[in-house]
């Protein structure tokens, strides 16, 4: 039995710290020698469980003994910390600082895992989930992991909302902070003062939501309903912002439109206008976010438009409706839910965005940056950060719920499997022009921004001294020939390699847990499925800064001492990007007919076998999408990990922020350009690989094989 | 019976598969602990941090795990990690968060034999903190202007704090947000000590009319001068000098009324995992050999060891009127929170 083995053979402690001496012994030895008697119940709980397995089947006993085992580990884990009792009551009760133990290690991990499997086994024997061990086990495991790595840290930080700075319980202070003017003030409506942060955030998110949705729709209409030239270019541009490191768009906008930006100087000199700082503030944030999030709306809208069967439009036109009338009465009602979806996704993304407001926000404050500076600013007010996080979380979760309620599982797709022939109606003339009006400025701006990024790294100081140079590239990525052969002497290599390493480690884990969760959601029916889905998607709605601080609070001390390791960064990425895997999986699963699973099940295969042999091979596009996007997002994420990095695990984005902070824009930009090019290459390679292997010919959409559409559509 | 036999093996197999995934995650955990005998939280410019870490590695063979963070970030991190510290030494960064950490008992008292040889201000920093921190460099506050912009607008160069509230500089002055940046807090404390609290707030309200932006980091106004994004920026003089040295049209000014300063500090983190190594580094960091690494890395603060050669680019102390900065009062949490709250209420949100 794995559980016994873990107890007897594998060191119980020391996830961190080189195991030396007693703590390195397996639990069984420690318990029997009497060094750490609180481990004995762990052994005891396993006895009935073993009996229940070997002896006559007693599923109830099995479940309870395993649950008792896990519960005791939790109790002793939180009760006895590395410096003594974990609860003050215990210390006063015994009158001593109490025994000590380090964080849990391999043995404990395997043991808990084995116990979980035993519970699954017992529950299945009782007929839960039609007696399928694999389903119960997977479900328990996913729920356990989500509770551990999403819910528990979130509760850790939210509990500090109720305390003052010295840790005392202060509910009145909490109320004062929660309803205070800095968050909810409405001064800007009556005078020149600034409004509360919450309103600022909502305002930006709403504007960005509307703008990106409309531009995205215009893009989609032009791409699908007209013979617009340069479709491949548009598809290419739509991928760019997704792989762009944060801060870079804001930085490029400043270099272009700042008071001494290239465009500003040109226009000011031409028209003899005073140079202003108009870009800083809500205009800049909105512009940067519209640039960044429009591709997502575009991909959503393309998916929605493709779901509108041309035959309906054709029918309308046969009935002598004009092009405008067809659009208004047929197309528009059918894409309305898609519009809502695109709006809410952009709304949530905008709320959680940290980098752009930081870079270009000027005096305009939003919640995400306020949270950061409540923690690291001059006042060090963690309680205020928690309160702000609470507000932000409420907003994002509400938007998220609204999206689900609105769009839900209703299908507005009119495209059946067969007989969807017919030609889509041409766009009404006015709409055609309007679409171009929306799209062309966007495209020009995108080209300008990325032009700046690609050129900016290779001139001395963009805007001031445009002499070409390789100096920045050399600083960051030089390779020298030394005594021991070639070695990487550039200052950026270390962080680049670490970033890719950690992103690669997190990648399979993210994809696996995402796909398994999607499978559970789509193919299984169990009690509490709705809340399970909500939990699984929740990490999408928690802002990165909050995740970072909460991970330190939750995982810095035993029983789960993970900070300072690469593991915690990988875990943070995995659970933050898990919804990507889930959405990719769900989108793909809904295209696979259930009758295939049923056939496999009828032929006597169990669910695990069905998943492995029937479903997984067909899920390959979803798996690839999940892998690619978890990788890309891990490389470009910054806010969640800025508190978790160590000297050894310095990440690329954190390095870029550091350079931009001290004004070293050359290196920051050249590094970003290198990252963008590298990730484009990776995307291309994967697209080629998958494109060749893909069975059958699905209509190529938007960005080709690697469709972010699958993710955002859910 | 036979079915029961078969089940656990499958359970085991699933468990094994998941373990392999998990082990990939945790595998890196063990590695992280094996090396890095000295974990340094570094609060100065990245190139100075790197120069210091690599030089120490070369000279002693001790591997230094350096992580650069602002002083505020470092404080937040040490505080969050206090039950199980990962850092050993906090080197550099403005003095207030060091004093705050000392006040909270997050750092370890230690008295170096070199202490008596340091400049007075460095020793004073140690005394205030009951030897939980020590000064390693000093940076004087000031402001700077963009020479090209000033010439283009045909404006007189500002020389005093009082010049910054003149109407011709409307929308031309930048200063960091004191609620986010320690530098800007030093500005506030300086003006309050120069003028008295109420007069200082009258000044800040007048200044607010001229401010174009309150950025979040202390060095941002200096960078903005260089980029021409602002005409005047309030920052530490060495930051402005660094901008000017990189070829940008920035000129530093030492205000005629006198100015405040920061004491960049160093603290040992309480319960540091490698305390012995940290103390060795601490001693080394106070020697001229360590302190002279700043100037080549583009940092022109005044080193705390008088034997360290002062770089020629550094602001000339004889020409700067330094105020008698009261670190005890203005380093305390109560004073700071009160003044910052008053600033947020009366100044930041005042109409312009």
Residue-wise pLDDT tens digits, B115-145: 999 998 899 899 988 999 999 999 999 999 9
Calculate the alpha carbon distances from A13 to A321, B206, B337 in Å.
74, 61, 43
Q: Which residue has the higher pLDDT, A136 or A450?
A: A450
Which pLDDT does position A8 carry in this prediction?
A: 46
B68 contacts: CB under 8 Å, gap ≥ 6: A658, B42, B43, B44, B46, B49
CA geometry: angle A241, A244, A246, nearest 5 deg = 110
Q: Is the pLDDT of residue A180 over 90?
A: no
pLDDT of res. B36: 52
**Per-residue model confidence (pLDDT) at position A10:** 47
Whole-number pLDDT of residue B22 = 45
* Chain B residues with beta carbon closer than 8 angstroms to that of A254: 227, 229
Question: Does A99 score more than 60 pLDDT?
Answer: no
A interface test, pick of B27, B44, B84 with most A CB neighbours within 10 Å: B84
Top pLDDT among B351 and A508 is at A508
Identify which of A121, A375, A557 has the shortest CB distance to residue B84.
A557
Confidence grade of residue A25 (pLDDT, cut at 50, 70, 90): very low
- What are the residues facing A481 on neighbouring strands? A486
Largest CA distance in chain B: 96
Cβ neighbours for B248, distance < 8 A, ≥ 6 positions apart: A461, A464, B225, B226, B227
Nearest beta carbon to residue B19 from set A110, A193, A280: A110
- Across the interface, do B14 and A608 touch by the CB < 8 Å criterion? yes
**CATH code 2.60.40.1760 for A195-456:** no
H or E element, residue A445: helix A429-456
Distance from CA of A350 to the nearest CA of B (A): 20
Given a contact cutoff of 8 angstroms between Cβ atoms, the answer to whether B346 and A187 are in contact is no
For residues B196-218, b (16+ Cβ closer than 10 Å) or e, as one string? eeeebbebbeebbebbbbbbbbb
Q: Is the pLDDT of residue B54 over 60?
A: yes
Contact A642 B35 (CB under 8 A): no
What per-residue confidence (pLDDT) applies to A501? 81
How many Å lie between the alpha carbon of B117 and the closest alpha carbon of chain A? 31
From A513-522, A649-658, A691-700, the region with the lowest mean pLDDT: A691-700
The nearest CA of chain A is from the CA of B34 a distance in Å of 7
Interface-testing mutation among B38, B49, B227, with chain A (most A C-beta atoms within 10 A): B227
Contacts of A217 (CB under 8 A, 6+ apart): A297, A301, A335, A339, A342
Contacts of B229 in chain A (CB under 8 A): 254, 258-260, 277
User: So what's the pLDDT on residue A700?
Assistant: 37
**Range A412-434 average pLDDT:** 61
Q: Taking 80 as the threshold, does the pLDDT of residue A434 lie above it?
A: yes
Residues 6+ apart with CB under 8 A from A438: A214, A215, A218, A219
What is the chain A residue with the closest CA to B33? A17
Can you give the pLDDT at residue A229? 67
- Position A711 pLDDT exceeds 60: no
Strand, helix or coil for residue A213:
helix
> How far is the alpha carbon of A217 from chain B, nearest alpha carbon, in Å?
36
| Paired residues of A482 in beta bridges | A485
pLDDT at B15: 42
Q: What is the mean predicted confidence (pLDDT) over A172-198?
A: 68
> Are the Cβ atoms of B214 and A570 closer than 8 angstroms?
no
- B330 — pLDDT class (breaks 50, 70, 90): confident
Number of residues that make up chain A: 714
**What per-residue string of b and e applies to A521-558 under the rule 16 or more CB within 10 Å gives b?**
bbbbeeeeeeebbebbbbbbbbbbbbbbbbbbbbbbbb
Res B92 pLDDT > 80: yes
Amino acid A84: pLDDT: 47
Do the beta carbons of residue A657 and residue A502 sit within 8 Å?
Answer: no
Q: Do B287 and B120 contact (CB within 8 A), yes or no?
A: no
- Chain A hits for B9, CB-CB cut-off 8 Å, are none
Residue B26 to residue A108: CA distance in whole angstroms: 13
Residue B33: list chain A partners with CB under 8 A.
Answer: 16-18, 564-565
* pLDDT classification of A298: cutoffs 50, 70, 90: confident
* Residue-averaged pLDDT of chain A: 71
Residue A619 has what pLDDT?
75
Measured CA to CA, the distance from residue A196 to residue A184 in angstroms comes to: 4
* CB B191, CB B330: distance < 8 Å: no
Q: Residue A643: name the closest of A395, A388, A371, A350 by CA.
A: A371
How far is the C-alpha of A469 from the C-alpha of A487, rounded, in Å? Answer: 22
Question: What pLDDT does residue B29 have?
Answer: 38
pLDDT of residue B6: 36
* pLDDT bracket for residue B4 (50, 70, 90): very low
Of all residues in chain A, the one with the smallest CA distance to B331 is A378
Strands (E), B111-175: 134-146, 173-174
Query: What pLDDT band is residue A595 in, cutting at 50, 70 and 90?
Result: confident
Cα distances (Å, whole numbers) of residue A630 to A550, A640, B208: 21, 14, 45
Residue B133 near residue B102, CB atoms below 8 Å = yes
Residues in B closer than 8 angstroms to A647, CB to CB, are: 36, 39-40, 64-67
Residues of B within 8 A of A277 (CB-CB) are 171, 212-213, 229
Q: Which of A357, A608, A550, A68 is nearest to B6 (CA)?
A: A608
Asked whether the predicted pLDDT for residue A222 surpasses 50, the reply is yes
Q: Do A648 and B32 touch (CB under 8 A)?
A: yes
Please tell me what DSSP assigns to residue A428. P
Of the segments A165-179, A267-281, A343-357, B183-197, which one has the largest average pLDDT value?
B183-197
pLDDT at A512 over 70: yes
pLDDT classification of B18: cutoffs 50, 70, 90: very low
pLDDT tens for A370-422 read 887 887 777 777 778 778 888 888 887 788 777 777 665 555 545 444 444 55
- Given a cut of 50, whether residue B24 has pLDDT beyond it is no
The DSSP H or E segment spanning B103 is helix B95-103
Compute the distance between CA of residue B140 and CA of residue B259 in angstroms, rounded to an integer.
7
Predicted pLDDT of residue A469: 74
Q: Please tell me the predicted confidence (pLDDT) of residue A293.
A: 85
Q: Which residues of B touch A362 (CB under 8 A)?
A: 213, 215
Which position has the higher pLDDT, A178 or A389?
A389
Residues A611-636 pLDDT 10s: 777 777 777 777 777 777 778 878 87
* B230/A259 touch (CB, cutoff 8 Å), yes or no: yes
**CATH 1.10.3720.10 domain position(s) in chain A:** 195-456, 478-713
Residue A392 burial (C-beta neighbours within 10 Å; 0-12, 13-18, 19+)? buried
Cα–chain-centroid distance for residue A153? 16
B4, B10, B11, B337: best to mutate for the A interface, most A CBs within 10 A: B11
Using only C-alpha atoms, what is the Rg of chain A? 28
Neighbours of B338 (CB within 10 A): 12
Alpha carbon separation from A58 to A52, A128, A136 (Å, rounded): 5, 15, 17
State whether A647 and B66 contact (CB < 8 Å). yes
Of all helices (H) and strands (E), which one includes residue A460?
strand A459-461
Task: Select the residue of A133, A377, A552 nearest B80 (Cβ to Cβ).
Answer: A552
Q: What is the pLDDT of residue A244?
A: 81
Q: Quick one: pLDDT at residue A115?
A: 67
Q: How far apart are CA A468 and CA A458, in angstroms?
A: 6
Distance from the A573 Cα atom to the nearest Cα atom in chain B, whole angstroms:
11
Query: How many angstroms separate the CA of residue B79 from the nearest CA in chain A?
Result: 10
CA–CA distance, A550 with A695 (Å, rounded to integer): 44
Residue with the two structure tokens 């932000």: A392
CB pairs under 8 A between A and B: 221
From residue A615, alpha-carbon distances to A516, A593, A610, A619, B306 in Å are: 11, 10, 7, 6, 73
Interface test mutation site (partner A, options B150, B154, B216, B235, max chain A beta carbons within 10 A): B216
pLDDT tens profile B198-252: 999 999 999 998 998 888 788 889 988 988 889 999 999 988 998 888 788 999 9
Banded pLDDT at A156 (limits 50, 70, 90)? confident
CA distance linking residue A355 with residue A240, whole number of Å: 17
Contact by Cβ (8 Å): A156, B34: no
CB B203 within 8 A of CB A403: no
CA atoms lying within 13 Å on the CB side of residue A530: 5
**pLDDT score, position A378:** 72
Contact criterion met (CB < 8 Å) for B40 and A647: yes
Q: What is the torsion angle, in degrees rounded to the nearest 10, for the CA atoms of residue A469, residue A474, residue A475 and residue A481?
A: -150
Cα separation of A225 and A218, whole Å?
10
d(CA A14, CA A31): 16
d(CA A178, CA A171) in angstroms, rounded, equals 10
Report strand pairing: B232-236 vs B250-253.
unpaired
Q: CA A17, A22, A25, A30 torsion: positive or negative?
A: negative
pLDDT of B195 reads: 93
CATH superfamily of the domain spanning A478-713: MetI-like (1.10.3720.10)
User: Which residues in chain A are contacts of B100 at CB distance < 8 A?
Assistant: 380
Cα nearest neighbour of A160 on chain B: B80
The full DSSP string for A81-150 is: ETTEESSHHHHHHHTS-------B-HHHHHHHHHHHHHHHHHHHHTTGGGG-HHHHHHHHHHHHHHIIII
* Residue B116 neighbours by CB distance under 10 Å: 8
What chain B holds in terms of domains, given with CATH numbers, is: 35-138+262-315 (3.40.190.10), 140-260+334-348 (3.40.190.10)
CA B218 remoteness from chain centre: 8
Among A53-57, A494-498, A657-661, B306-310, name the most confident range. B306-310
Mean of all residue pLDDT scores within chain B: 83
With a cut of 60, say whether residue A54 has pLDDT above it. Answer: no
Instruction: Please say whether the beta carbons of A621 and A591 come within 8 A.
Output: no
């Amino acid at each position: 039995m794995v559980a016994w083995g873990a107890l007897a053979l594998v060191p119980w402690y020391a996830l961190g710290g080189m195991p030396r001496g007693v703590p390195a012994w397996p639990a069984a030895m420690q318990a029997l020698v009497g060094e750490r008697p609180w481990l004995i119940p762990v052994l005891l709980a396993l006895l009935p469980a073993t009996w229940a397995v070997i002896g006559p089947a007693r599923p109830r006993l099995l479940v309870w003994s395993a649950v008792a085992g896990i519960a005791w580990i939790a109790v002793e884990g939180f009760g006895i910390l590395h410096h003594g009792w974990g609860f003050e009551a215990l210390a006063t009760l015994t009158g001593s600082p109490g025994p000590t133990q380090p964080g849990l290690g391999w043995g404990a991990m395997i043991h808990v895992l084995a116990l979980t499997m035993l519970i699954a086994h017992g529950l299945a024997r009782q007929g839960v989930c039609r007696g399928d061990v694999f389903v119960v086990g997977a479900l328990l495991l996913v729920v356990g992991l989500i509770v551990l790595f999403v819910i528990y840290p979130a509760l850790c930080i939210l509990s500090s909302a109720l305390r003052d700075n010295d840790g005392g319980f202060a509910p009145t202070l909490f109320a004062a902070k929660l309803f205070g003017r800095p968050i909810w003030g409405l001064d800007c409506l009556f005078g020149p003062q600034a409004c509360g942060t919450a309103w600022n955030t909502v305002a930006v998110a709403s504007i960005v939501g509307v703008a990106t949705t409309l531009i995205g729709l215009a893009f989609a209409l032009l791409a699908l309903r007209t013979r617009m030239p340069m479709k491949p270019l548009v598809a290419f541009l739509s991928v760019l912002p997704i792989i762009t490191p944060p801060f870079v768009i804001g930085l490029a906008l400043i270099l272009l439109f700042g008071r001494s930006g290239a465009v500003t100087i040109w226009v000011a000199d031409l028209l003899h206008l005073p140079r202003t700082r108009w870009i800083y503030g809500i205009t800049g944030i909105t512009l940067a976010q519209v640039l960044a999030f429009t591709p997502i709306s575009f991909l959503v809208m393309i998916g929605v438009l493709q779901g509108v069967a041309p035959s309906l439009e054709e029918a309308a036109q046969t009935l002598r409706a004009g092009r405008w009338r067809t659009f208004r009465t047929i197309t528009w009602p059918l894409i309305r839910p898609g519009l809502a979806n695109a709006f809410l996704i952009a709304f949530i993304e905008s709320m959680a965005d940290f980098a752009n407001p930081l870079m270009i926000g000027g005096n305009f404050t939003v919640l995400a940056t306020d949270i950061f500076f409540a923690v690291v600013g001059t006042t060090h007010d963690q309680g205020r950060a928690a309160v702000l996080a609470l507000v932000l979380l409420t907003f994002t979760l509400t938007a998220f719920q609204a999206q689900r309620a609105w769009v839900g599982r209703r299908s507005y797709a009119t495209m059946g499997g067969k007989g969807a022939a017919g030609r889509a109606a041409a766009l009404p003339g006015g709409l055609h022009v309007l679409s171009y009006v929306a799209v062309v400025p966007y495209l020009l701006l995108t080209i300008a921004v990325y032009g700046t990024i690609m050129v900016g790294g290779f001139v001395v100081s963009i805007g001031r001294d445009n002499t070409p140079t390789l100096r920045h590239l050399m600083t960051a990525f030089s390779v020298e020939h030394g005594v021991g052969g070639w070695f990487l002497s550039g200052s950026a290599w270390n962080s680049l390699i670490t970033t890719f390493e950690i992103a690669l480690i997190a990648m399979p884990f993210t994809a696996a847990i995402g796909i398994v969760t999607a499978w559970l959601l789509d193919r299984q029916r169990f009690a509490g499925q709705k809340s399970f889905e909500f939990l699984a998607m929740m990490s999408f709605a928690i802002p990165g800064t909050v995740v970072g601080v909460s991970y330190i609070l939750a995982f810095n001390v035993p029983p789960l001492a993970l900070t300072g390791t690469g593991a915690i960064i990988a875990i943070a990425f995995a659970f933050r990007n898990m919804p990507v895997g889930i959405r990719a999986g769900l989108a793909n699963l809904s295209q696979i007919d259930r009758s295939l699973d049923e056939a496999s099940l009828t032929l006597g295969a169990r669910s695990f076998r069905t998943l492995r042999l029937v479903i997984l091979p067909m899920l390959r596009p979803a798996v690839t999408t999940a892998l690619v996007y978890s990788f890309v997002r891990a490389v470009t994420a910054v806010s969640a990990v800025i508190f978790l990095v160590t000297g050894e695990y310095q990440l690329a984005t954190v390095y870029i922020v550091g350079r931009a902070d001290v004004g070293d824009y050359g290196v920051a930009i050249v590094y970003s350009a290198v990252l963008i090019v590298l990730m484009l290459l990776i995307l291309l390679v994967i697209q080629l690989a998958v494109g060749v292997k893909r069975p059958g010919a699905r209509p190529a959409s938007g960005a080709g094989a690697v469709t972010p559409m699958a993710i955002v559509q859910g | 019976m036979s079915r029961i036999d078969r089940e656990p093996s499958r359970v085991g197999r699933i468990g094994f598969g998941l373990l392999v995934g998990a082990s990939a995650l945790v595998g890196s955990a063990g590695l992280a602990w094996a090396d890095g005998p000295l974990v340094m939280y570094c609060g100065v410019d990245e190139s100075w941090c790197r120069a210091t870490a690599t030089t120490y590695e070369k000279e002693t063979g001790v591997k230094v795990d350096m992580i650069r963070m602002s002083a505020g970030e470092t404080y937040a991190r040490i505080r969050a990690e206090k039950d199980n510290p990962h850092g050993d030494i906090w080197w550099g960064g403005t003095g207030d968060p060091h004093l705050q950490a000392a006040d909270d008992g997050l750092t370890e008292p230690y008295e170096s034999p070199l202490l008596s040889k340091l400049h007075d201000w460095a020793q004073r920093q140690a005394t205030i903190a009951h030897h939980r921190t020590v000064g390693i460099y000093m940076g004087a506050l000031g402001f700077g202007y963009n020479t090209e912009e000033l010439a283009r607008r045909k404006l007189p160069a500002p020389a005093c704090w009082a010049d910054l509230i003149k109407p011709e500089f409307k929308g031309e002055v930048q200063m960091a947000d004191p609620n986010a940046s320690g530098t800007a807090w030093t500005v506030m404390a300086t003006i309050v000590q120069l003028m008295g609290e109420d007069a200082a707030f009258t000044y800040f309200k007048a200044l607010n009319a001229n401010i174009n932006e309150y950025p979040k980091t202390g060095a941002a106004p200096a960078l903005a001068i260089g980029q021409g994004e602002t005409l005047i920026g309030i920052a530490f003089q060495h930051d402005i000098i660094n901008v000017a040295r990189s070829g940008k049209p920035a000129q530093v000014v030492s205000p005629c009324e006198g100015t405040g300063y920061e004491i960049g500090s160093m603290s040992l983190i309480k319960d540091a995992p490698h305390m012995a190594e940290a103390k060795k580094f601490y001693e080394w960091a106070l020697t001229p050999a360590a302190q002279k690494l700043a100037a080549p890395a583009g940092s022109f603060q005044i080193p705390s060891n008088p034997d360290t050669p002062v770089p020629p680019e550094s602001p000339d102390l004889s020409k700067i009127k330094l105020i008698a900065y009261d670190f005890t009062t203005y380093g305390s949490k109560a004073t700071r929170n009160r003044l910052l709250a008053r600033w947020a209420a009366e100044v930041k949100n005042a109409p312009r």
